[in-house]
Amino acid sequence: MRTVNIAELKNRLSAYLDQVREGEEIIIRDRRRPIAKIVPLSAQDWGAEEQALITAGLLRPAEGRLPESFWKLPIPRASAKRVTAAIKWARGAR
């Protein structure tokens, strides 16, 4: 568990949130006195809508960060015609 002062947290919030996404808990201090804790969300923390999507198999909570190799994959390209056809198909105009 890491600890951080408010000023440091404000200056590097994105970096600390990345650590929380990876499962780290962070204690926030105000003048060296612990005042709060940032923790990753668990399955029980999801709202009713998210829980329904998880139960239906339509949403899967993240289990960690994507590997760096993922970000080096080529971006898929599709023509506007193919995208339009896919949207129409998804909306039931098959």
- Tell me the DSSP string of 9-68: HHHTHHHHHHHHHTT--EEEEETTEEEEEE----GGGS-HHHHHHHHTTS-----SPPPG
Task: Pull the structure tokens for residue 14.
Answer: 């994105």
Residue 23 pLDDT class (50, 70, 90 cuts): confident
Beta bridge partners of 36: 28
Decide if pLDDT at 16 tops 60.
Answer: yes
- Please state the rounded mean pLDDT for residues 36-62: 85
Is residue 94 very low, low, confident or very high in pLDDT (cuts 50, 70, 90)? low
Which residues, other chains included, contact 21 with Cβ-Cβ below 8 Å and sequence gap of 6+? 40, 62, 65
Question: What's the CATH fold of domain 2-65?
Answer: YefM-like fold (3.40.1620)
Length of the chain: 94
For residues 36 and 6, the answer to whether their CB atoms sit within 8 Å is no
